[in-house]
Amino acid sequence: MSERPSGPAASTPPDGPPAGAGSDQAARALLTAERAAVVTRLAAAEDDVRRIIGAGQDVATDDEHDPEGIGLALERAHAVAALERARDQLARLQDAQDRLARGDYGRCSGCGRRIPAERLQALPTATTCTACSPVRRPAARRGR
């Protein structure tokens, strides 16, 4: 996987100095892969929103309460939510990559201990260990 996502929103940070720890390498690969997936999702969500808003303009000229319009509004709400989730996730990934570059990655911001590797694998953007996590989200909530 050497392809970089090239989009207007993708500000590619320069690669940090090679860290000695092998886990940093793994984390970097994981974050890079995750980021590529999120960038793709973000672009798709932006397309969806644009398409739906474009379609909505046709409907907006219609004064009747058109069921088409309601469906479209719902669809737009979903698309906007997906877009916001993708942006949010991208920001968290950027933050994780920044922390990795600083050497702070994988350290709990609550207690300062190392975050268990399996937690970072499941949630690469985690900033706290499980004990310090303010929200214990069920694993099923991940993804779309």
User: Which C-beta is closer to Zn ion: that of 45 or that of 129?
Assistant: 129
CB 130, min distance to Zn ion, A: 8
CB 133, min distance to Zn ion, A: 8
CB 128, min distance to Zn ion, A: 5
User: Which C-beta is closer to Zn ion: that of 56 or that of 110?
Assistant: 110
User: Which C-beta is closer to Zn ion: that of 96 or that of 129?
Assistant: 129
Q: What token pair was written down for 6?
A: 């090239």
CB 105, min distance to Zn ion, A: 14
CB 126, min distance to Zn ion, A: 10
Q: What is the SS3 assignment for 107?
A: strand
What are the backbone dihedrals phi and psi of residue 93, each rounded to the nearest 5 degrees, phi first? -65, -40
Q: What token pair was written down for 19?
A: 């860290």
Q: Whose structure tokens read 């999120």?
A: 38
Is the backbone of residue 92 left (phi > 0), alpha (psi -120 to 50) or beta?
alpha
The whole-angstrom separation of Cα 64 and Cα 102 is: 57
User: Which C-beta is closer to Zn ion: that of 100 or that of 129?
Assistant: 129
Using CB under 5 A, list all residues that contact Zn ion: 108, 110-111, 129, 132
Residues 6+ apart with CB under 8 A from 69: 56, 59, 60, 62
User: Which C-beta is closer to Zn ion: that of 32 or that of 128?
Assistant: 128
